[in-house]
Structure 1
Amino acid sequence: MPDNSDIPGLSFEKALAELEGLVRKLEEGDASLDGAIEAYERGALLKQHCQKKLDEAKARVDKITVSADGTVATVTADME
């Protein structure tokens, strides 16, 4: 089984780029069965990592509001 311990340290952009590459590779159908299974497993972990990064970013994003009198305030973004 391949070592996937590097995934937690990947940035969102690097993880997404690798995930896209794995999807292309699987769509081409040139991989062996074992290779395809390993790519799928790593892809699932990369997808989970990307989702976690997106959720963390969404939690940190603040919405800036300006009231009618010009007062500026921040409101934490909804976590729907």
Structure 2
Amino acid sequence: MPRAAPKASAEPSSYEAALQELEQLIASVESGQLPLEQMLAGYQRAALLLNYCRSKLDAVQDQVKVLDEGALAPWNQE
């Protein structure tokens, strides 16, 4: 059974909401159950959400740099 079309709202309410919606869109597209038009709409919405998340992360990184007076060390995942 195909899932519903992606939400039409322009901007998510928060980073967490955007990330959750993005994960749902990825799962829908990867399932292969969406018609082509819905898959394209999902891809477009995912691109918008990804840009939103990146901008939020960049803004937080800029705030951290200010708090650390520009002495932010590169993040190491290990």
Using structure 1 for the length normalisation, give the TM-score: 0.71
Question: Cα RMSD over matched residues?
Answer: 2.5
- Decide which of 41, 56, 69 is 1:75's aligned counterpart: 69
Q: Which has the higher contact order (CA 8 A, sep 6+)?
A: 2
Which structure is higher in strand share? 1
Q: Percent identity?
A: 32
Q: Following the alignment from structure 2 to structure 1, what is the Cα–Cα distance between the partners of residues 69 and 28?
A: 42
Which structure 1 residue ranges, 5 or more long, are not aligned?
Answer: 65-73
5+ residue gaps, structure 2, are 1-6
Q: Flag as ranges the 4+ runs of structure 1 deviating above 4 A.
A: none
Cα offsets for 1:47-70 (capped at 9, x unmatched): 000000000000011587xxxxxx
User: Aligned residues, how many?
Assistant: 67
TM-score relative to the length of structure 2: 0.73
From 16, 19, 38, the equivalent of 1:16 is 19
| Structure number with larger C-alpha Rg | 1
